[in-house]
Structure 1
Amino acid sequence: MHHANHYYGHSHVLARYCGLDDTDPPRLHGYLQHGWNIGDGLAPDHEYTPGVPSFLWSERTRRRAWSLGRRQGYVVGAPFAYLLAMEPAAADDEREGTIWYPFHGWEGQHVVGDHDGLMASMREVEDGPVTVCLYWQEFRDGKLRRRYEDAGFRVVCHGYRGGWWQDLDPGFLYRQLAELRRHKRVASNRLCSAIFYGALAGCAPAVYGDPMHLENEKQAFGGQPRIRREWAALHGPYVDPDLAGAAAVAELGADRLLAPAELRRLLGWPMPDRVADAELTGVLIR
């Protein structure tokens, strides 16, 4: 099982949906897309074995993968969309302010940009309380975290992504969903998974401010220029929520979620011991 299949607790969410033990997900027979991207759905820095299937979030991604020569791609939908199906929002859900996701680095590359300028943009646009969600790498940088805190922002971190089967965090998406549902808006300086997650969870999205960049960043598949051209309507301090919601459904494959039995078969997972398929399928019907 490729270690990236565990990122952000994705395999754990899918195991729960399939009626299996979500504390110890079975081996997933293929590569699971772990973040929104404009290529074939897979991380360009990972090595993949030819002939092994890819489990992708959307039909758009599957078509791109096909055009790039990856023929064994299957649309399953994003794990976050399955989590939403299993965790319906409360009827008396109260929301306030904005959750802001600054573009982040990762273990192999740090982000470079003007955080002070970004905070100034946030204060200029947002008229309510702002929660800044930092990636674990930036969150552990006490100096950077305090800059946001000293500017008056609430600062949180959803958790550790996990890697190489270590420091796994099955609760990552649960914490992210909870934070999104307590805010009216979701914003970032780049179009990213969090923006689509927020739009799907009922937040009004926004993309503005210094987009920053990674050290030695490569513009894979057209990079930021292509994203701004192709998804121009999703950029700006105020975005049409209906348009963003439709885009989120398409990019996350929220209209392509599989029934538990079908998902288990595709992933090569066993039948559950305790939960009937009829009960799980009802999650999508209610």
Structure 2
Amino acid sequence: MHHANHYYGHSHLLARYCGLDQAEPLRIRGYLQHGWNIGDGMAPDHDFVPGVPLFLWSERTRRRAWSFGRRQTYVVGAPWAYLLAMQPDGGQPREGTIWYPFHGWEGQRVTGDHGRLVDEIRAVEAGPVTVCLYWQEYRSTRVRRHYERAGFRVVCHGYRGGRWGDLDPRFLHRQLAELRRHHRVASNRLCSAVFYGILAGCAPAVYGDPMQLSGEQPIWGGQPRIRAQWAPLHGPQVDPVAAYELAVAELGADRLLPPAELRQLFRWPEPAGRPA
């Protein structure tokens, strides 16, 4: 099915949870949400075949999908939440902040003042800062040097994969290892990485110049709606209890399915050695 099902190693990770071989990505008979958004969970630039099921992260997303006329929807929880369930926190020491600047993607570049963002980060963060860049910005010496010259550690979790190629089953594992090194997670826009960090035990923050995508359209209400509807998550300091409750709800961490049910929904086989 759709190549986006394999982004960030999602299909590999869920296959592992289901007790299946992770060597090759398994076909999911439907569309799996691959990132947090304020719409129906699906990327607005993708074409979808009517009647094919949507596998969404949360009940909140499913309700939004229904409001758009999407009917064949199933809440399965975010792959990230399954990873945390399989790899509990070992209580390792944490220090400083991991910061995720808003990034572009293969179809759109991001524009903004990275120097200004560096000044905003310095004004807020008291401890050491790790800046995680998307692969496009990481490959840009000009962008990367803004943060390196500020004395920040700069990393990249890797390439998400695309068109059934360059798949990286370890992407989320690297991201989890980085998040568990830090006390805080922050970004200049509310995004998947912030919710992931909250669920992984980081105190969140959303502040700074939000930057812009080339040709960006305010789909589903855009940034004004996000700042209004998810106001408790915005600011240099936020309530960690409220933030955790929101992260659980948006990632469907309270809605994870048992392996047998997930296999049935995805039309995956039983593990080898078990009766069909």
Say yes or no: does 1:99 pair with 2:98. yes
Tell me, in whole angstroms, the C-alpha distance in 1 between the residues paired with 2:135 and 2:60: 30
Whether contact under 8 Å (2:12, 2:26) holds in the other structure is: no
Letter of the 2:19 counterpart:
G
Q: How big is each residue's C-alpha offset from its partner over 1:138-166, in whole Å with a ceiling of 9 and x where there is no partner? A: 00112211221111000000000111011
Q: Give the drift of 1:25.
A: 2.6
Structure-2 change in CA distance of 1:266 and 1:97 (3 Å): same
SS in 1 for 2:63: helix
- Residue 162 (structure 1) aligns with: 161
Q: Which amino acid aligns with 1:66?
A: W
Relative to the length of structure 1, the TM-score reads: 0.95
1:65 aligns with 2:65: yes
Do the aligned residues in 2 keep the contact of 1:19 with 1:274 (CA within 8 Å)?
Answer: no
Note if 1:86 corresponds to 2:86: yes
| Aligned residues of 1:180 and 1:201 also touching (Cα < 8 A) | yes
* 2:179 paired with 1:180: yes
2:245 is matched with 246
Read off the aligned partner of 1:195 and give its amino acid letter.
Answer: V
Name segments (4+ residues, structure 1) moved above 6 Å. Answer: none
- TM-score (ref. length: structure 2): 0.98
Q: Counterparts of 1:189 and 1:222 in 2: how far apart (Å)?
A: 17
**What runs of 5+ residues in structure 2 fail to find an aligned partner?**
none
**What is the number of equivalent residue pairs in this alignment?**
275
User: Match of 1:203?
Assistant: 202
The structural deviation recorded for 1:22 is 1.4
2:111 aligns with: 112
SS of the residue corresponding to residue 198 of structure 1 reads helix
> What SS class does the counterpart of residue 205 from structure 1 fall into?
strand
Secondary structure of the 1:42 match is coil
Offset at residue 132 of structure 1 (A): 0.1
Q: Is the 8 A contact 2:203 2:240 kept in 1?
A: yes
Measured against aligned partners, the alpha-carbon deviations of 1:56-88 in whole angstroms (never above 9, x if no partner) come to 000000011011011011000000000000001
Alpha carbons of 1:134 and 1:275: their partners in 2 closer, same or farther (altered >3 Å)? farther
Q: How large is the RMSD of aligned CA atoms in angstroms?
A: 1.0
CA contact (8 A) 1:23 1:170 kept: no
d(CA) in 2 for partners of 1:95 and 1:18? Answer: 31
Q: Quote the Cα distance in structure 1 between the aligned partners of 2:74 and 2:273.
A: 27
Distance 1:212 1:275 in 2: 51
Task: State the match for 2:9 in structure 1.
Answer: 9
Q: Match of 2:141? A: 142
**For each residue in 1:178-219, what CA deviation from the matched residue of structure 2 results, as whole angstroms up to 9, or x when unmatched?**
000000000000000000000000000000000001001011
Q: What stretches of structure 1 of length at least 5 have no aligned partner?
A: 277-286
* 1:183 to 1:274, Cα distance in 2 relative to 1, 3 A: farther
Q: Identity of counterpart residues, as a percentage? A: 75
Distance 2:29 2:130 in 1: 38
Shift of 1:45: 0.3
CA distance in 1, matches of 2:273, 2:186: 40
In 1, distance between residues paired with 2:65 and 2:32? 13
Write the distance in 1 (CA, Å) between the matches of 2:209 and 2:156: 21
Counterpart secondary structure, 1:160: coil
Specify the SS of the correspondent of 2:177: helix
Q: Spell out, residue by residue over 1:19-68, the C-alpha distance to the aligned partner (whole angstroms, 9 max, x if none).
A: 01112132100000000000000000000000000000000000110110
CA shift, 1:14, in A, is 0.4
SS in 2 for 1:131: strand
Does the Cα contact within 8 Å between 1:19 and 1:275 map onto a contact in 2?
no
Deviation of 1:221 (Å): 0.4
Verify the 8 A CA contact 1:8 1:173 in the aligned structure 2. yes
With over 3 angstroms needed to count, the CA separation of the structure-2 counterparts of 1:142 and 1:275, relative to structure 1, is: farther
User: 8 Å contact 1:134–1:155 — kept in the other structure?
Assistant: yes
What SS does the aligned partner of 2:146 have?
helix
Matched residue, 1:220: 219
Partners of 1:176 and 1:275 in 2: how far apart?
33
